[in-house]
Structure 1
């Protein structure tokens, strides 16, 4: 039964991920992978928030493993960065790798701190 909760979250996470990608494809002309950057930053913050709040059980698994697991995308992050590098856009690739990691860790930390304050 727990698998169904996770699958439900994953369904909505994938749909939202696709929506963000389409939205950015419509409005962005830069080679910077903004859609992947945004979903990974949002996902890092939300995961930190949930972990910090101490939320557990079915809802937590549905949101963390299900929704955020399919909404965020480490593999696409890696692939897009490598494609930038291979296409000679090394400065953009380096900025993307650095900015995504530093920002992701930073917002995850902020989410944990905020979650702890909300959970207490």
Structure 2
């Protein structure tokens, strides 16, 4: 149990650091007007989750799931930042942008996990 907990913690540290780098990069490139970094990490994380769930099962390597899926991707993606970003847009009086952000993020993340699974299954077939 302790070994699995350490795997999750190490993966979470890596994922959180990667998310921070995406946030800094997006802010520098796109500015603070819209939460593009959160969209990017959640969509990319959903795609990677699809890739990992198929790849790890195919290779009988689910023992890596705590580190990669719970740790790295759990640290990389974020629902709390998504919620804060949506509320911030709403409170700024940008109801349309808030709605587009919520609906677009959820739709894109669902599409990304489906794509990740499909691409990986096709690649491994």
TM-score by length of 2: 0.88
CA distance in 2, matches of 1:57, 1:101: 26
Shift in Å at residue 30 of structure 1? 5.1
Shift in Å at residue 51 of structure 1? 1.2
Q: Which residue of 1 aligns with 2:20?
A: 18
**What's the CA shift string for 1:31-86, capped at 9, x where partnerless?**
21000000000000000111122253332221100000010001110111011011
Shift in Å at residue 116 of structure 1? 2.0
Q: Which residue of 2 aligns with 1:2?
A: 4
> How many residues are paired up?
120
Is 93-102 or 53-62 further displaced after alignment? 53-62
Structure 1 residues 119 and 61: CA distance shift in structure 2, 3 A: farther
* Structure 2 residue 73 is the aligned partner of structure 1 residue 68: yes
Unpaired runs of at least 5, structure 1: none
Shift in Å at residue 89 of structure 1? 0.8
Unpaired runs of at least 5, structure 2: none
Shift in Å at residue 117 of structure 1? 2.5
CA distance in 1, matches of 2:46, 2:62: 20
Q: Which residue of 2 aligns with 1:37?
A: 39
Is 64-73 or 54-63 further displaced after alignment? 54-63
CA distance in 2, matches of 1:30, 1:83: 12
CA distance in 2, matches of 1:58, 1:20: 28
Moved over 6 A (4+): none
CA distance in 2, matches of 1:58, 1:51: 12
